[in-house]
Structure 1
Amino acid sequence: MTDSVKQSVKPAADVYPGHTGGPRSQAWADLLADARRWNDAHPLAVGATGVFAALTVVAWLAAIGRGMPFPLTGLATTLGAPDAPSMAASLLLARGPVQLLVDEVLLLLMLTLAEPRLGIRRTVAAAILSVVLGVGVGLAACGGVAVLLHGTQAVARIRFALSPLMWGVGPLMAASAFHRPLWRRRIRLVGYAAVASVLLFGGSPGAYCLLAGALAGQCFGVLLAAADGRGRAKTADDPLHWRLGTSFEARRVFAAVALVLALGPLLASVSPTHAGPLSPLALLLGPGAPDEGVLARCLAEPSHAGCFFQFDLVRSSMPGAVLRSLLPTAVMAIMAWGLYRGRRLAAWVTVVCQAAASALAVVYYLVVPAGFVPDGFAALVRHGALASCVVNALPPAVFAVALLMSLRHFPMRTDRARLMRGLIGLGAVWLACAAGYLAFGLLRASDFHPAASWRDLVAELPGRFVPIGFLSHTRLRFVPVTPLASAVYQGVGLVFWAAVLVVCVRWMRDVTAGDDRDRAEAGRLVEHGGESMSFMATWEGNRYWRSPSGRSAVAYRVINGVALTCTGPFGDPGEWMTDLREFSRFCAAHSWTPVFYAVHRAQRDALVADGWNALEVGGEMVVDPRAWKTTGRKWQDIRTAINKARREGIEDVLVTFDKADADVRDQIEEISEQWAGDKALPEMKFTLGGVEELRDPRVRILIAQDASGRVLGVTSWLPTWRDGRIVGWTLDFMRHRTDAPNGIMEFLIARMAERLRDEGLEHPDVAAEFMSLSAAPLAGMNPQRDNTAPDGTMDAGTAMLQHAMQLMADWMEPAYGFRSLFNFKRKFQPSEEPVYVCYPDAAALPQLGLAVTRAYVPSLTAGQALALLRTLQR
């Protein structure tokens, strides 16, 4: 056992000094002490939720003693005959045990988040303000929406109760102004998404009050923050609140919205009220079918105002139809998860489904009712159909367009073969279900009333599979009259949607599991042997070619017919030169042009010897930590940065992402969002990692932290193995706060070099042989170095590519600062090692240039490119 391990193993008496009991009893004592400290730090949150629970239980006992019904349904009131005492009581009491449990947890959570930021007095003020303004503005807004949708009479009869959560939602939104930008956006996103989903798909007047209370609390918080001089807390001035700096955060937002829209039918079906603006759309996507007879009678009556608002979409449905409506909801929830994981297929499926939902609303509100009114479109406008159509068709349409315009944030594609297998399987299931339904109808026509004919069966066929009964019941042709006929009538759609659910799960799971397996295998090979940038091969987005022996591999991406590698081969070094040729043959078999990107000199020479062309694309800066020192005039800037950080109480902390405190992880994500949000172009990928790449536990993270625990800057370091031993570390992630002190990055890099030097002195057998500062993309290109063809000359195509890449580097310099980064790294007096791009055929140069650009900036839009060009012209 080594000394370091011996020191880490201590007897229980040393772990818990002064304690005579065992470790388990001490753990319970520590837990109780933590609970007491937490309670002392949140007196208002604990006291308020305790009073709420006590009042509710006393009210329940009093009501039961008087013989009143339980749960307390008498707390509900209506807008037509408002009962002020009932509304006041519903703000203080829960009607039943389930509501008490849910409200207790949510109220405690909201006040716990608000109290430390606002203080007790401001929290109480925010609660009172949000309740007073929320009730007044919310009920007025509910009435206004009812007038807009021609449903005043229906809304006036809805029984509703206010929510005790109004005492917490206002303080929570007010406190969000005092949180850091990233958490501010998350609190508001989750809070408003939850309230809006209940309001849009349920429509209870109480939900309007909850939303108004949240808005009032947010405005109050912004004013408080401005009064405190915290200008960054103003959301209007905070680009992080409105813009999504990284694809990772954008995917979170899209996934949250998609999940809310997916759960709409479920929320609408369980809601006691159906007055929400999107309730009709949600119920159309739910079980059963609308009764057009009711609508036709309503429109035929002299008093026809509000027909579309009052039209009862809550139908009695067969169990098969109910299940069939829930399965599409499950499918869309899976797609929301796929959006979160960056799957392009999930984005396309969501776009198609939301566009279909929007089209369905148009059909329901404008096309079908046109046959019930004698004077056409004008009558539909007069009845409120147009307003209802806009309200129900616009949200899914806007979301579909926004998602379509943001496909760049979802780069992970599903393998074409896997996709085709799933589609063929679904086609086969649909054909089998349709054939079984038609065959049963023809063979046992008497099981339906009236007897089913071939024409009627075909006309009813679409309605057996859509997640609504809309198409099938526009004119009811027959109904099943036997149990077997009913099972077939309902079951074919259920079987088909169950198959859709299974295929979608497999698509998402197989892609994820396949990626994880491939990346895990790549990680195993990288740990056997690699070069300074080989660890980048383990990042998501790469495909992998493996050698016949399985001991080495090449990571690549196929872009516009170009198989662009992420550095050279990795794994067994004895196979690397053979891998260059074998990978080229593999690409030729798939009609791809192989391009080795960011390879070093030895591999470049081997490829040039085989007739390839080579071009230098950057210089990698390498430092030997074993010889690290900062003496001499040329190190003045580095010494100044180190001394300044020490004077200001800034410390460097070496962690991994999974072992870092939650607050540190949040700050790292916030710094990344801030950094990306300030760029004119989107976050770069390929050989440049983001927050997602920090999560690998093998990656070291060195942060600069001030005395208050505020993270000022972050660097990440990728390991390089040889024969299973780490021999070097490569700089990747390098970001800092916009208000961080000057020299913070110099401090972090210098401290990493010092740490590696000291580790080598303490353990010479595991000393790091190099510390790479990596290569700035498209920077440091040296036309004087050897960029030649096999015959020793630079051909015209290579010269053109070099000039084009230099032009691209100049174009992107204002946004990314490649040249500035290159010059910054030179401060550390590194040795410079060129990296190359090698390609077999100069005819593929246009494809190669485009592939490199798309690899680095996959989410670049034409608008962003034009905006940058306009900036350069100024």
Structure 2
Amino acid sequence: MTDHGRTDAAAQAHGGDGLRAVVPRVMSVGIAVAAVYSAVIALIAPVRHLLKPVTGLIEMAVFPVEPNLGYAVFLGILAGALARHKRAAYWVLVAFFALLVLGNLAIVLSSSLMPDLVEEYALMGQVVAAEVNLVVSAGVLGVLAAAQGQFFAPMRRASFRKALLTLASLLAVSFGVGYALVSLFPGTLKRGDHAAWVLERALGGVVTLDFYRNGHPPFWVNSVIGLLSAVAALAAVTVLFRSQRARAELPPDSEKRVRELLAAYGSRDSLGYFATRRDRAVIFSPSGKAAVSYRVVAGVCLAGGDPIGDVEAWGPAIKAWMDEARRYGWAPAAIGPSETAALAYARAGLRVLELGDEAVIEVAEFGLAGREMRGVRQAVNRVTRAGFTLRVRRHAELSPEEVRQITDRAAAWRDTETERGFSMALSRLGDPDDGDCVLVEATDAAGEPAAMLSFVPWGDDGLSLDLMRRDRHADNGLMEFMVAGLVAEATALGVKRVSLNFAMFRSVFEGGARLGAGPVLRLWRCTLVFFSRWWQLESLYRANAKYRPRWVPRFLAYDDTRTLPKVGLASAIAEGFLTVPSLLTLLRRGERALRGRARHNEGH
């Protein structure tokens, strides 16, 4: 767990110091443009020849752009790290321009000491280019020196040494493969120039060992070496720039403080109780009256739901959370905040995007009568006639043996390898500290368990759906039977409102199906219906809509539009929809597959 109590001057510098504050973004954009340019001229030969004068002008005025994929990948990753204020990226950029200054200075000094040699070989153009580049590079170094405080995100311990080792090892592989290819396919390149040429290509073309060399191997050889060098640069720079880790852990003292805030202010947000997940970290406002619960996933500092606590203290809590994110170069984002919290995140400088709606049943308004509730009523009646019964209890009423049985059944009925959920799931069942949670169980006519629902507290008079499991062979309509049964028992439990699932893009599904919907909305709905074949977007909306709930909008808050794909990826990983296995996990899966194949062969 990082130290949340201290004040970090570096993080505060992110928003101040006038022009120096924009240096990271300007440098990032410039390097990103150079990366795209290098990639284009590396991949498209006609464009490379057409833009040769432009390439020369860029190299003279700024820094080298080479038709090499390895170099382009390096620049692209460097641009991303600069945008995240990575201290390691800053020193890499300083070293890069320092080498340019030294190299150009050597050319300029050599030309002044040996003017006859320059005139004999007509090198005056290169000398002029070196003079221009020397001035520009020195100016950039001056700007970087003035803005050093803006690059404050630390790198992991020993990451520089590991990155150098990774780069050297993989570039050695690139050189070895390249030398073998050049030996087999030399083209017009002389034998004595093989090693030097391959070394230049393996290093991305930023080093020239012989200005007067003629000849070259086939272009595809250069492409292969460039690809291998790209892999080397990608691996090494990833090791160097990877984000500082934060332990996904909620210590007992922090959990106690979170529960105290929920006891006082928990009725504001139906997702508040999920802040007690023990795979989240939490950061408090200076007053301790509010907190933001989050987890770092794929370089994104992902908060879940609303801040907890007093609304008046939300602003300082959000600022502390954003300072923590910027201190370590994480992209701040919040998934699932309510409209009130989304406004608070917007005031803190984040952009806001509506994700969908949460379905909330008001107990006093719910009933099975009427044409609109016909589908739910028929499902409940069908399941009731089949002999199913319902039991609703607080978790505190369960015996240890019942807790064990319920936990085992929930695991057996789960249809994924791991527990899903981050923003709207607790990912634990039967914990002694969750005694106020409510369990809804359905059993068939023979008394066998068929399905279960578990709800977490939502303040003093509400419940929020956490877990939904059923036997794969159980009758259809069980969920409607259980939800209707819970609402019928709600008054005895002191419950006035029940939050169900979240329906992503609910307004699109609803509005796009209406008569007179515009072509853009209809196209957007058709697109979502297509993707619902894999992600069940439409079916989840319909499963909620049948209860005629009150729809409560939920939002996504994020820092920069460029980070949206990264935020989406982190959200998918956090919610359990996307798994990024480690090498050890892949090896274990391979071992299981081999054992299964061996058993299959033995059976035949």
Instruction: Give me the TM-score of the superposition, normalised by structure 2.
Output: 0.48
Larger radius of gyration: 1
TM-score, normalised to structure 1, is: 0.34
Q: Which has the higher contact order (CA 8 A, sep 6+)?
A: 2
